[in-house]
Chains A and B, each alone.
Chain A
């Protein structure tokens, strides 16, 4: 079985995003970029499935600027076999991403698509569900445990109130939550090996083109800032302030 893993290059999770003064977006110039953390978890899970003998090949795909090759390279160093970059300088919406990924999936014929539940830039939490719907495949989002058993996947999902386990017929789309695994650091020899792995550079036109956008961002603004309050010396002072000043208890 082939596993397709879509990965997104995003602002590093340790960096605090700053809004541009002209309100057109978030300033990404000279900001550290990394693989979206949830995509890293998806890559790790794919590599573990390959190590268990469940998967033969891991194909990593990213839609983004030329620098997204670095993100793909990181995934190859973790154990991916080859990469596809669908190069575009546009910042495609989830629906556009899902349509391109559908075309990639149709070209590659994976038995499983493993991806992140959410990209930490747009916080959309949408592409996996949309891809699954467009392909007509079953979905399991927010996975914290995955078991592949022949032609089915059993997936434990994080839901409100606890956990839910579903069984899906393959091929399927599964999105990773934080507790699915802890991604490995690529070793130096694997980083060297990854340099020799192929990354095919494609354009959106190779996968049906970038369909028109449905959304227009009118502005991006900074949220109201919270100001730090006061330090209290004792628990008794805290209780008294919560009662009389704040009136919340």
Chain B
């Protein structure tokens, strides 16, 4: 059995989701190759070649692959599948976008966001916003799977796989890339951050979100997240959303400030190691999952927390 892992990267650097997906792939097979599809990805491929356990790194390059356009990525990967029994794709927004397309082209049932490999054809995945776990067996000869990276440990370095270029495929004749608007930030990325500080509707404005949440995050070297309510209201950019339909995170420490704890939010953070909730409503559901709850107005609690962190040498 041979498995292809599709690398998560931004054309400049390889993301840790890749290492975690390799771990899931190694649970299936010893023959794991990594595909780096993008534009100008030589450095990314070199990083991927260092992942321990990887047999070979494939690179495919074109403009549209660089923008992760689904039709282009699917048209590149589908023919490669003649040499593989499974393709494992990190469940990022890009991966979720192209994976089912590959499955349809291969006439197989995609398996979304697995959190465990039980056997060669058996996987566990959350359903109903993580309120239930489904153990599902695939009857397909070739499997197309997206992987919830937070559920797997990152594979280490130490490999030295060969790198080989492959055909980028016919592209996407009916789709054109027009533009992107990417949020630039020096903070750690949400996925994979050790600490996440998230703000909710309680912030009341984008200014307040910046004033309160960001300095706290910076003091802790944390990534910034948000509830849907905060994103919908424009306090934070869309890709900060943590939850069932946003990003799933599982940091060492998750601090929720002014977030009530709706099931859809919990779905994205309840596997964090330690959860802290700051909320002025003692009955807020977030306290049911919080290891440490502080019932307080964030307006005084966050400055107090900043001061206490300073006192503790942060």
Contacts and interface: CB of A to CB of B under 8 A. Distances in A.
Contact of A158 (B98, B132, B139, B238): B238
Interface in A109-135: 117-118, 120-134
B135 A242 contact: no
Chain B interface mostly: mixed
Contact of B100 (A13, A94, A213): A94
Interface in A163-219: 163-169, 172, 177-179, 213-219
A129 B101 contact: yes
B126 A162 contact: no
Interface string B276-309: 1000001000011111111110000100110111
Interface string B128-160: 111111111111100000000000000000000
A66 interface: no
B133 A222 contact: yes
Interface in A213-238: 213-223, 226, 228-232, 234-236, 238
A159 B127 contact: no
Contact of B239 (A161, A213, A219, A249): A161
Contacts of B276: 238, 242
Contacts of B202: none
B303 to A, nearest CB: 8
A37 B228 CA distance: 14
Given A160-B92, A166-B178, A126 B239 contact: no
B10 A248 contact: no
B85 to A, nearest CB: 15
A94 B136 CA distance: 14
A134 B238 CA distance: 30
A11 interface: yes
B62 interface: no
Contact of B128 (A11, A164, A238): A11
B291 A120 contact: no
Contacts of A144: 238
Contacts of B94: 159-160
7 contacts: A16-B263, A123-B112, A142-B93, A162-B180, A222-B132, A229-B290, A241-B292
Given A141-B97, A242-B274, 18 more contacts: A16-B131, A94-B100, A120-B129, A121-B128, A139-B70, A141-B96, A165-B178, A167-B175, A213-B139, A215-B139, A218-B136, A220-B127, A228-B287, A229-B290, A231-B282, A231-B293, A246-B274, A249-B312
